[in-house]
Amino acid sequence: DQQVKQNSPSLSVQEGRISILNCDYTNSMFDYFLWYKKYPAEGPTFLISISSIKDKNEDGRFTVFLNKSAKHLSLHIVPSQPGDSAVYFCAAANYGGSQGNLIFGKGTKLSVKP
Amino acid sequence: EAGVVQSPRYKIIEKKQPVAFWCNPISGHNTLYWYRQNLGQGPELLIRYENEEAVDDSQLPKDRFSAERLKGVDSTLKIQPAELGDSAVYLCASRRTGRSGYTFGSGTRLTVV
């Protein structure tokens, strides 16, 4: 049973427009959420995170929104750039408990077209 | 700060042969993870170390996989014997204690033929 779900395998966006990547989770014990970006032949790179006590975190062009009641988070990229084309993974952890393991979704491949 | 270093980057072996992967985490990072990523999937945890202690190896196929982290720094992951289904990217990651993200290495892409 997948605890972290990314239901869109791919997303295509025009350069300059907004990219919205979605993620749903089932475990209410998760208290920390992260987004990673992965280019081919490289390991995942940390992008942005959010604690469960917040509903929004912003870093430059990247904003993560958390809706705990819906167990849903999203990553907004504004404006999107061709260099943002990569696979984006949503991940969650229960750092407040005894387990600090990140659980990953299957990823969404973002393509930003010039 | 140097990143997480993994070697080799690529490995091709015949089935039933042994293989080993090596990871050097970021200095001062107490927690080390080995993940496996199959094609089209997200990374899945194999084992987690807190210093030199394996605190979660519930997902490690212990009949053929083994890992060690001597002196709480470098770690090796071994498969013996390898099977065709072991073909994947093996990722090592590390982090400090507390609420922080992981830093991943570039991974080792294993192909078993």
Q: Is A53 on the interface with B (CB under 8 A)?
A: no
Read off the pLDDT of each residue in B83-97 and give the average, rounded to a whole number. Answer: 93
Residue B101 pLDDT class (50, 70, 90 cuts): confident
- Distance in angstroms (rounded) separating the CA atoms of residues B88 and B51: 26
Residue B2 pLDDT class (50, 70, 90 cuts): confident
Read off the pLDDT of each residue in A55-66 and give the average, rounded to a whole number. Answer: 97
Residues of A in contact with B110 (CB under 8 A): none
Query: What pLDDT, on a 0 to 100 scale, did the predictor assign at position A83?
Result: 96
Interface test with B, best of A24, A30, A46 (most B CBs within 10 A): A46
Query: What pLDDT, on a 0 to 100 scale, did the predictor assign at position A94?
Result: 86
DSSP state of B63: T
Read off the pLDDT of each residue in B2-11 and give the average, rounded to a whole number. Answer: 94
Residues of A in contact with B48 (CB under 8 A): 100-101
Closest CA to A38 of A106, A114, A103: A106
Read off the pLDDT of each residue in B61-82 and give the average, rounded to a whole number. Answer: 94
Residue A95 pLDDT class (50, 70, 90 cuts): confident
Structure tokens at A23: 């993620």
CA A106 to chain centre: 11
Contact indicator for B61, B83 with CB cutoff of 8 Å: no
Q: Is A100 on the interface with B (CB under 8 A)?
A: yes
Is the pLDDT at A19 greater than 90? The verdict is yes
| Closest Cβ–Cβ partner in A32, A44, A103 for B104 | A44
Query: What pLDDT, on a 0 to 100 scale, did the predictor assign at position A101?
Result: 85
Q: How do beta strands A108-113 and A10-14 pair?
A: parallel
Q: Per mean pLDDT, which range of A67-76, B34-43, B70-79, B95-104 is the poorest? A: B95-104
Across all residues in chain A, what is the average pLDDT? 94
CB-based contact A102 B102, cutoff 8 Å: yes
Contact indicator for A21, A11 with CB cutoff of 8 Å: yes
